[in-house]
Amino acid sequence: MFFSVTMSLDGCIAPEYMQLGQPTEKWLDQWMELQKYVFQQRFFRQNLKLGDGGETGRDNRIVEETFNRTGASIMGKRMFEGGEHNWPEEAPFHTSVFVLTHEVRQPWERPGGTTFHFVNDGIESALRQAREAAGQRDVRIAGGADVIRQYLNAGLVDEFSLAVSPVLFGAGLRLFDGIDPRGIALEIAEAINSPLVTHLNYAVHRK
Amino acid sequence: MFFSVTMSLDGCIAPEYMQLGQPTEKWLDQWMELQKYVFQQRFFRQNLKLGDGGETGRDNRIVEETFNRTGASIMGKRMFEGGEHNWPEEAPFHTSVFVLTHEVRQPWERPGGTTFHFVNDGIESALRQAREAAGQRDVRIAGGADVIRQYLNAGLVDEFSLAVSPVLFGAGLRLFDGIDPRGIALEIAEAINSPLVTHLNYAVHRK
């Protein structure tokens, strides 16, 4: 089980969390700066139906490989609610997605093979269901930071990849806030140089 | 002018700041885990008189190159006070070092070519003096985080290198806390893969 997110050099995966739930212009500017490299990748553009074109180099291959290895995703309720109205009708997952929520809701099937399942009984149950749905492929935690933290602290993450963007936020939603480092030992798997973003891959062991 | 520091993957360069100024055992454990790779490098061990042996690979060359390009260093008062009693008599700088402080004090000359100068009139004055002392070589901000932040926010840093250790602190002294990101544009220079630490080099431009 793995996660793969874009992070600022000072450890943020989003600008300061919005209390009112509505992105401001500044929020969007910062977020777009963070995610700039991925919007330039051909695979990402096609998958989100943003149009043709885009880079086809190593960054693009990494984005595509991350998609291809993923047999099912897990996400938090806020990430789902953020995407529910913004993803295209053919949502960009094309697999089962397990949403951690208190809401009781029937599975929501989208064209193109994405089905959202709403899980009410915790992270281990979501992981079990996701593993079964993923078959031979891997389970990805899509986000957000609090869901990643819960799985890390529970010792359930095997690997993760950070795409470190060359931006500083100063303040924001930190990926590793609330991590309990006493149980986590990281091993560097690879660092991949690119002009737009730096890919850092780690294996996670228990201490 | 550049800085080069070791950072945890979650952006810390030291455990939580000690109010009483005395390192606890836990503080030292975390700090040693962060700095583990450098204590294994031959050049670092020789320069701090920690004994023979040590790695002689790429990490060691990077540590040595950082030393060789440095013609003068700038540091904050707390870093100086932390090192004053812990560096060997032959302090590991072997150049002029400019200490930002309110204390009025005569230059302190150590065997081996290190002279500490105490600067009372601000960061630009310290930089001017350090540039003059450095000659053809570069000026390094040795630390700590608050001094680095002041130079970054003033637009005076040209480049920096982070040695990112594969450790998470969860909480601690963050390198980029208090940075004003609106004036800072980063450009990736290089990412260097190593089993012990990841070297990330950036050029800094004004936005």
pLDDT band at B19 (very low <50, low <70, confident <90, very high): low
- Considering only CB atoms, which chain A residues are within 8 Å of B169? 181
Between chains, do A176 and B167 touch, taking CB under 8 Å as contact? no
B165: tokens are 């250790």
Six-digit token string for B14 = 């030291």
Query: Does residue B29 register a pLDDT over 90?
Result: no
Q: pLDDT at position B110, please?
A: 96
Q: How far is CA B94 from CA A86, B18, B23, B123, B144, in A?
A: 58, 29, 27, 21, 19
Nearest CA in chain B to A11: B10
Element (H, E) at B124: helix B123-134
Residues near A135 by beta carbon (within 8 Å), at least 6 away in sequence:
A71
Give me the residues paired with residue A100 across strands.
A76, A119
Residues in chain B: 207
Helix (H) or strand (E) holding B100: strand B96-100
Q: Kind of pairing, strands A159-165 and A198-206? A: antiparallel
Q: Is there a contact between B192 and A193 if contact means CB atoms under 8 Å apart?
A: yes
Rounded to a whole number, what is the distance in Å from the CA of B194 to chain A's nearest CA? 8
**ipTM exceeding cut-off 0.90 for this assembly:** yes
Q: Under DSSP, is residue B59 helix (H, G, I), strand (E, B) or coil?
A: helix
- Residue that the structure tokens 């836990």 belong to: B26
What φ, ψ does residue B104 adopt, rounded to 5°? -90, 120
Q: What is the pairing mode between strands A12-14 and A173-174?
A: antiparallel
Mind listing the pLDDT tens digit for each residue in B118-177? 999 999 999 999 999 999 999 999 999 999 999 999 999 999 999 999 999 988 999 999
Instruction: Kindly state whether A169 is in contact with chain B, defined as any CB-CB distance less than 8 angstroms.
Output: yes
For the stretch A49-105, pLDDT in tens is 888 899 999 999 999 999 999 999 999 999 999 899 889 899 999 999 999 999 999
Per-residue b/e over A91-128, b at no fewer than 16 CB within 10 Å? bbbebbbbbbbeeeeeeeebeeebbbbbbeeebeebbe
- What single string gives the DSSP state of each residue in B7-35? EETTSEEESS--TTS---HHHHHHHHHHH
CA distance A31 to chain B (A): 13
pLDDT value of position B175: 96
- Spatial neighbors of B78 by CB under 8 A, at least 6 apart, are B144
- What one-character-per-residue DSSP string does chain A give? -EEEEEEETTSEEESS--TTS---HHHHHHHHHHHHHHHTBHHHHHHTT--S--B-SHHHHHHHHHHHHEEEEEEEHHHHHHHHTTS-SS-TT-SEEEEE-S-----EE-TTS-EEEEE-S-HHHHHHHHHHHHTTSEEEEEE-HHHHHHHHHTT---EEEEEEES---SSSEETTTT--GGGEEEEEEEEE--SS-EEEEEEEEE-
From first CA to last CA, the distance across chain A in angstroms is 18
How close B168 comes to chain A (CA, Å)?
A: 6
In the structure encoding, which two tokens stand for residue A188, read together? 């560097």
Chain centre to alpha carbon of residue B106: 23
Task: Taking residues B96-100, report their average pLDDT.
Answer: 98
Which DSSP state fits B109?
E
Is some CB atom of chain A closer than 8 A to the CB atom of B178?
A: yes
In chain B, whose CA is at the least distance from the CA of A207? Answer: B167
| Residue A27: band (very low, low, confident or very high) from pLDDT cuts 50, 70, 90 | confident
pLDDT at A23 over 90: no
pTM of the model: 0.94
10 Å Cβ neighbour count for B173? 18
Residue A80 has a CB neighbour count (10 Å cut-off) of 22
| pLDDT tens digits along A139-187 | 999 999 999 999 999 999 999 999 999 999 988 999 999 899 989 999 9
Contact B131, B74 (CB under 8 A): no
Q: Which residue of B has its CA nearest to A10?
A: B11
The alpha carbon of residue A93 is apart from the nearest alpha carbon of chain B, in Å, by 28
d(CA B55, CA B139): 26
CA angle A161, B55, B66 (to 5 degrees): 75
B141 contacts B159 by C-beta, under 8 angstroms: no
CA distances from B174 to A54, A191, B14, B73, B78 (A): 35, 22, 8, 21, 16
